[in-house]
Amino acid sequence: MKLRVLGCSGGIGGNFRTTSLLLDHDVLIDAGTGLGDLSLAEMSVIDHVFITHSHLDHIACLPLLVDSVGFMRDKPLLIHATAETLAILQAHVFNWEIWPDFAEIPNLHQPVMRYEEIKVGEIIDVGGRKLTPLPVNHVVPAVGFRIDSGKASLAFSGDTTTCDELWEAVNQIPNLRYLIVETAFSDAEKELAVLSKHLCPSMLADELKKLKLAPEIFITHLKPGEVELTMREISERVQGVNPKILQNGQTFEF
């Protein structure tokens, strides 16, 4: 099983792309601007999109994906998200005002897109690849994901602030090999991190003290313009582990 990072930035500009991860060739986790770098052929074979939450940097390319390849496919594109996130997408994106509702196109019986509700802790088996929503704490309803190949697992926090439930769930993953965790702001912006329910380096350091396992740790969602500062602060504040920066184009095989 291979996970390719299409985008992992907290913003855009130059080579920065927002969050999107491609599992093998057919499963997408979040649909940020990184998705737009795929070819039409690559996009057309994506069968599943798992959404952590409804913020624009994580769904920006979802409407365009459905519009671009929906009619090239012989089955619906499945959008997996919590009931709360699905309701937000239906009310505020696929509402015929911002974008057509492709769950009704060309008709209700044969749509090009279909919603699939997921719940925290419930395993979704996609061809032997098991994805489990993880509890997180954000300003809108959100989840992270455990991705389990059977041999090893990768845990992805999505967007979160301090969350004991997340670390309790992560610590229950016996084959955890990789952890991707966000740190959206530098410590100078800690008040903003708290307000927007993200992490900064000092908060990340406290959160990682709750981790009882020893995976490789990668940092995502860094803001353009503050990448070097935030990673330097992480190296200064986080003790006992050595988090690395997540990179566009990076791949994980597990």
Q: What pTM does this model have?
A: 0.97
Asked if residue 86 lies in contact with residue 117, where contact means CB atoms within 8 angstroms, the answer is: yes
Q: Which CATH architecture is the domain 1-81+83-117 placed in?
A: 4-Layer Sandwich (3.60)
- Residue 17 CA to residue 8 CA, distance in Å, equals 6
- In degrees, to the nearest 5, what angle opens at C-alpha 239 toward C-alphas 234 and 210? 95
Query: What pLDDT does residue 38 have?
Result: 98
**CA-angle at 87, arms to 133 and 108, nearest 5°:** 105
Task: Dump the DSSP string for 22-62.
Answer: EETTTEEE---GGGGGS-HHHHHT--EEE-S---HHHHTTH
Q: How far apart are CA 179 and CA 254, in angstroms?
A: 12
| pLDDT, one tens digit for every residue, the chain (254 residues) | 999 999 999 999 999 999 999 999 999 999 999 999 999 999 999 999 999 999 999 999 999 999 999 999 999 999 999 999 999 999 999 999 999 999 999 999 999 999 999 999 999 999 999 999 999 999 999 999 999 999 999 999 999 999 999 999 999 999 999 999 999 999 999 999 999 999 999 999 999 999 999 999 999 999 999 999 999 999 999 999 999 999 999 999 99
Question: Of the candidates 242, 80, 227, which has an alpha carbon nearest to the alpha carbon of residue 145?
Answer: 80
CATH class of 119-246: alpha beta
DSSP code at position 148: E
What are the residue boundaries of the structural domains of the chain, listed by start? 1-81+83-117, 119-246
- Asked if the domains at 1-81+83-117 and 119-246 fall in one CATH topology, the answer is yes
pLDDT of residue 5: 98
